[in-house]
Amino acid sequence: MLTSLYIKNYALIDELNVSFNNGLTIITGETGAGKSILLGGLSLVLGKRADLSQVKTAEEKCIIEAAFDIANYDLKALFKTLDLDYDVHTIIRREILASGKSRAFINDTPVTLESLVALSSYLIDIHSQHQTQQLTQDDYQFKVIDALADNKLNLEAFSKELSVFKKLQKTLDELKLSKAELIKEYDYNLFLSNELNEVNLEKINLEDLENQYEELNNVEIIGEKLSSTKAILDAEGLGVIDQINTAKQELSKIATFGKPYESLKERIISVGIELDDVLIEIDNLEDNLSTDPQELERINSKLQIVNNLFQKHSVSEIEDLIVIKVDLQSKINDTESLDQTILDKEQEILKANEKLNQIALKISKNRKKVIPIFVSKLEAILTELGMPNARFKVDLEPTKQFVKNGKDSLQFLFMANKGSSFNELKKSASGGELSRIMLAIKSILAEYIQLPSIMFDEIDTGVSGEISNKMGEIMKQMSHKMQVFTITHLPQIAAKGNAHFKVFKTDIDDITHTQLKKLNEEERIVEVAQMLGGLTITDSAMAHAKQLLN
């Protein structure tokens, strides 16, 4: 419920700070006194676009702040979605700066207008004749019937399953599109994969292959050079090894003369041992050296294949080719298994479709069950509101496709007078009739769900005294379960309130100001008397006013 409203520097309001209680709150005032200004300020808090022209003094910022008690509104999940700290005493503030920019805050946290609108729709509903057009919209008509049908949990389950169903359908469409593309590439991918598989990439050591190729391709020059090297090392008398042995003998003669000479001898011995090993290795290499044209051709062919693959796939490492091979095999597998994947997905969709149909059937059954109750209640209230011949009909028809709230189409049909036929509500009901129908529907809804605070803005325009008295009774009844505000010109309605505020203008220093005052008991009597008889208050008007208030 709205607990307080603070307005500063807005339109004709310098500063206003007012508190509200539960129940039915009446707001009255002469035409042009500024009731629309009050509503305009409240609308800003609820997310209406700001306008610099609304600021009273352009050099100062405009502030509008509304406090709400939301303990009974079950809004913790919404606050979490909006990334806001939850507080049962929630304050919404709008500021219009001198620059024309506006800012919005929820519990001192800056928010966007979208977030403000998302929250405020749960807090207060400003209802005027213009807004009765909402009644003719499909979404609102479903909201009314589903509230009476207690379909909240079913609708939540349906919405969740519908989301799953749509995702599955999207995935299936993507799979079918992928299949068409993959089929085009399948043969080529299979050719490339087979080409890579034939090479047995995992067993190829490119460096070893290249070394083998160099050896086989140069076997003659290798043999020649090994032989000449062996001759240099092992030529009798003149070979390097013999020369080393001679040097070793010479150094042995002086090795005992000191450590430097002993060290030289050891080093020459080491060189001799190393050369002996080199000579043995040369002998082994010569023994194993042979020409093998077929092996040379095999290795050359494999190297050529690998190099061609490098060039084809724009890589330079065997590991890169292996990665490409794995990727190609994956694409081939995907293509080959896609039919089964599509079939599995179609089965999932069938199950989701069946589940959705089951939930939609529950929703539809609940709707059908409450429609006669709704129509009966509505027609009874409309009779009391001066529309005894009004007849209402709710057409509920199954749809072939799922819609966002089930599998039904819904239409409110109305017949105002005897002898006429049912027609769409928006085509057959006047503005005044729509206002009374909306009031009746709101009063019915209040029996079933927790509605936000509601402000009726002169929906009693053009209504007679007896009917206005009934309208007041309905509002009074609604206020037992929710906070109700009504802006009215009718004394019969004004007298029903738990609290009564008057909007009026004053001129101070040739400047007009709008003010709002809570009336005490005596002031209420005078205000209702003026509403009955005009500015000149007669004894009979005062007596009538007391009678109404009592």
Q: Where is pLDDT greater, at 89 or 129?
A: 89
In the CATH scheme, what architecture does the domain 1-123+452-519 have?
3-Layer(aba) Sandwich (3.40)
CA 129 – CA 492 distance, rounded (Å): 19
How much is the pLDDT for 129? 61
Q: What is the largest CA-CA distance in the chain?
A: 156
pLDDT average, residue stretch 486-493: 91
Confidence at residue 180, expressed as pLDDT on a 0 to 100 scale: 80
Q: Tens digit of pLDDT for each residue in 288-303?
A: 777 777 767 777 777 7
Confidence of residue 135 (pLDDT cuts 50, 70, 90): confident
| pLDDT in the model for residue 100 | 77
Distance CA 444, CA 447 (A): 6
Count Cβ atoms below 10 Å from residue 32 Cβ, excluding itself.
10
Give pLDDT tens digits for 206-236: 777 777 777 677 777 887 888 888 888 887 7
Chain-centroid distance of CA 481 in Å reads 33
> What is the predicted pLDDT for the residue at 51?
75
**Measured between alpha carbons, how far is 136 from 427 in angstroms, rounded to an integer?**
9
Return the CA Rg of the chain. 47
HEC readout, 374-390: HHHHHHHHHHHCCCCCC
Phi then psi for 453, rounded to 5 degrees?
Answer: -55, 145
pLDDT at 14: 86
Per-residue confidence (pLDDT) for residue 519, from 0 to 100: 95
Reference 48, options 147, 137, 123, 114; nearest CA is 114
26 — pLDDT class (breaks 50, 70, 90):
very high
**Per-residue pLDDT at 130:** 59
What number is the average pLDDT over the span 497-513?
A: 87
**In the predicted structure, residue 108 carries a pLDDT above the cut 80:** yes
What percent of the chain is predicted at pLDDT more than 90?
A: 43
pLDDT in tens, 349-401: 999 999 999 999 999 999 999 999 999 999 999 999 889 999 999 999 999 99
Query: Cα–Cα distance between 479 and 435 in angstroms, integer?
Result: 18
Residue 90 near residue 84 (C-beta atoms within 8 A): no
pLDDT tier, 131 (very low <50, low <70, confident <90, very high otherwise): low
pLDDT in tens, 138-197: 888 999 999 999 999 999 999 999 999 999 999 999 988 888 877 888 888 888 888 888
Distance CA 253, CA 257 (A): 9
pLDDT for 7 beyond 70:
yes
Task: Using DSSP, state whether 294 is helix, strand or coil.
Answer: helix
Distance, CA of 130 to CA of 151 (rounded, Å): 29
- Name the 3-class secondary structure at 485: strand
Type of residue found at 530 = Q
| Continuous segment of H or E residues that includes residue 427 | helix 425-428
Within 13 Å, how many C-alpha atoms sit on residue 348's CB side?
17
- Residue 61 is given by DSSP the state -
- β-strand pairing of 484-487 with 453-457: parallel
pTM for the full predicted model: 0.69
Instruction: Calculate mean pLDDT across residues 497-509.
Output: 89
**Would you say residue 21 has pLDDT above 90?**
yes
C-alpha to C-alpha distance for 195 and 209, rounded to whole angstroms? 19
Mean pLDDT score, 535-550: 87
What is the structure's pLDDT at 225?
A: 86
Query: What mean pLDDT, rounded, does the chain reach?
Result: 87
User: First-to-last CA distance in the chain?
Assistant: 26
pLDDT of residue 359: 97
Specify which of 65-69, 180-184, 215-219, 336-340 reaches the highest per-range mean pLDDT: 65-69
Task: Give the span between the Cα atoms of 139 and 116, in whole angstroms.
Answer: 21
Q: Is residue 255 classed as helix, strand or coil in its secondary structure?
A: helix
- Gap between the Cα atoms of 341 and 13, Å rounded: 68
Condensed to tens digits (0 to 9), the pLDDT of residues 389-441 reads 999 999 999 999 999 999 999 999 999 888 788 998 888 888 778 888 889 99
Residue intervals of the chain classified under CATH 3.40.50.300 are 1-123+452-519
